Amino acid sequence: MLLTTHSVLMDWNKLESESDLLTLFHLSTTNSNKYFIIFKHSTRCPVSAMSLYRLEKNWTFVKEAVSPYFLDLIKFRAVSKKIEELLGVRHESPQLLLIKNGKCIYHQSHHLISVEELNQQF
């Protein structure tokens, strides 16, 4: 089951280094039944703050099915560049990427980030 019937608190994993990113990719290739989310957040951007708020408020995925990762773009810009390099997805902020088996299977940015839209990708 990917979804619960009610909103749950997100249990963010921090993405702070290239090593964290490589671990995420490794986990995504060894856990073929699990999805991984990367949320790239700019702490200086009100659009990013609103996207984060909406994502957290409406989050309904069970942690056994979806692991969310949080990237602070201001502190860890190099990690964002590495994501772009490894996945071939142009950097945006805010940005949500859905990872499955080491590949980005969906991405969205700005006001288009939503749990409802994300749910349609499963």
The mean pLDDT of the chain is: 90
CATH of the domain at 114: 3.40.30.10
Question: What is the pLDDT, as a whole number, of residue 8?
Answer: 56
Note whether residue 24 is domain-resident.
Answer: yes
Alpha helix locations (H) across the chain?
18-30, 46-58, 77-87, 115-119
pLDDT tens digits, residue range 85-118?
999 999 999 999 999 999 999 999 998 999 888 8
What distance in Å separates the CA atoms of residue 9 and residue 13, rounded to the nearest whole number?
Answer: 13
Beta strands 13-14 and 35-41: pairing type?
A: unpaired
If one counts the domains in the chain, the total is 1
Cβ 71 vs Cβ 41: under 8 Å: yes
Q: What is the pLDDT of residue 5?
A: 47
Residue spans of the chain under pLDDT 70? 1-9
pLDDT at 24 (0 to 100): 95
Please report whether residue 20 resides in a domain.
Answer: yes
The first and second tokens of residue 64, run together, are: 């056994």
At residue 1, the pLDDT reads 46
Name the burial class of residue 67, with classes exposed (0-12), middle (13-18) and buried (19+) by CB atoms within 10 angstroms of its CB.
buried
